[in-house]
């Protein structure tokens, strides 16, 4: 294992501290519960939090800020946060308007967040829940019952975060989050494995001439192992799986995301985007918003995921709202 780090056991703590030190004017850090939260959260606003395992950055710890999350409490690498982290983080940002939990559909996450929510509700805190399950690759996986929550969570975070800034109620945010989740679909693939620092070895083995179609963001098996193909052939299979699942149809206005898994050069992501954009045009889909880069990663895994969101006027307007988070390019 070759990583730029100190002690593997301090990997997550030092990463979060680095994010905090780079954004001390906007964020507060509670190291005891792996939590970053916004400074000066507007009074009376529904607060929003999410936190899965670490290793998927910028999701979710780097999405805390105005217009997106109010807090995040990740667990260790590829591990759900302990229920006490969820409970304490919820208490830290609780408002009279309530707290929205956005949860990716993994058994460990569901269990921790359910118990953390129940503890918060016993304290009189009103909590709403949105579960994200946008992955079309497989129905059940190593860590899930039902579909996995992957890069589509960014659209749920962005729309709910923007609506919260505008004064939406907890009930309205739950309905909005569920609407976004119902209209977003994702599929991923991998060229390589990745190595979680505490483990020290790759989470799966794959030959140099192989790809994993439908891989999960924790290295879960996908639909099949295959030989490397052209960009066109890879995107064609993924686009078909994603676009036919909703299904998307001619005339739909969409947001298209090409999400890097962490180790893919941006040049390759734009080659991928080119193929997907041409397929959207051929299918009669109008790309209104596009996103290319690392959003929901798997450490240094090489590969990408393709996400389509079917837009309506509300979602389109919310995606246009500004956000101030640690992930930024000048």
Task: Single out the catalytic residue among 218, 248, 259, 323.
Answer: 218
Q: Do β-strands 71-72 and 210-213 pair in parallel, antiparallel, or remain unpaired? A: unpaired
State the CB neighbour count (10 A cutoff) for residue 112: 25
Task: Single out the catalytic residue among 38, 56, 60, 147.
Answer: 56
Question: Would residue 60 show up in a list of annotated catalytic residues for this protein?
Answer: no
Residue 23 CA to chain centroid, in angstroms?
21
C-alpha span between 230 and 208 (Å, rounded): 15
State the CB neighbour count (10 A cutoff) for residue 62: 23
> Which among 285, 294, 221 is positioned nearest to 255, based on CA atoms?
285
> Which residues lie closer than 8 Å to 248 by C-beta, 6 or more apart?
242, 254, 283, 285, 308, 310
Question: Would residue 218 show up in a list of annotated catalytic residues for this protein?
Answer: yes
In DSSP notation, 68-112 reads: SBSEE---SBTSPPPHHHHHHHHHHH--TT-EEEEEES-HHHHHH
Instruction: Give catalytic residues, as residue numbers.
Output: 56, 218
């Amino acid at each position: 294992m070759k990583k730029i780090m100190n002690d593997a056991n301090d990997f997550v703590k030092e990463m979060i501290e680095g994010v905090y030190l780079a954004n001390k004017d906007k964020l507060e850090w509670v190291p005891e519960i792996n939590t970053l939260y916004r400074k000066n959260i507007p009074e009376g606003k529904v607060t929003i939090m999410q936190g899965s395992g670490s290793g998927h950055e910028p999701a979710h710890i780097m999405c805390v800020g105005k217009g997106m999350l109010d807090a995040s409490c990740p667990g260790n690498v590829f591990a759900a946060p302990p229920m006490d982290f969820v409970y304490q983080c919820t208490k830290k940002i609780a408002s009279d308007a309530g707290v929205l939990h956005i949860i990716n559909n993994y058994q460990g996450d569901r269990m921790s967040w359910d118990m953390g929510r129940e503890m918060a509700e016993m304290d009189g805190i009103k909590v709403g829940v949105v579960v994200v399950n946008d992955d079309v690759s497989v129905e059940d996986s190593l860590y899930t019952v039902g579909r996995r929550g992957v890069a589509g969570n960014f659209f749920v975070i962005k729309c709910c975060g923007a609506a919260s800034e505008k004064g939406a109620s907890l009930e309205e945010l739950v309905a909005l989050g569920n609407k976004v989740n119902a209209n977003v679909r994702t599929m991923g693939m991998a060229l390589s494995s990745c190595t979680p620092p505490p483990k020290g070895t790759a989470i799966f083995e794959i030959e140099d001439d192989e790809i994993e179609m439908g891989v999960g963001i924790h290295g879960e098996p996908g639909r099949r192992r295959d030989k490397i193909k052209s960009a066109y052939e890879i995107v064609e299979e993924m686009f078909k799986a994603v676009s036919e699942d909703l299904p998307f149809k001619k005339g739909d206005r969409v947001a298209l995301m090409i999400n890097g898994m962490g180790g893919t050069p941006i040049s390759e992501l734009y080659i991928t985007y080119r193929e997907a954009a041409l397929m959207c045009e051929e299918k009669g889909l109008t790309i209104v918003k596009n996103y290319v880069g690392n959003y929901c990663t798997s450490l240094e895994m090489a590969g990408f995921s393709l996400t389509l969101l079917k837009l309506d006027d509300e979602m389109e307007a919310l995606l246009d709202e500004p956000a101030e988070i640690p992930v930024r390019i000048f």
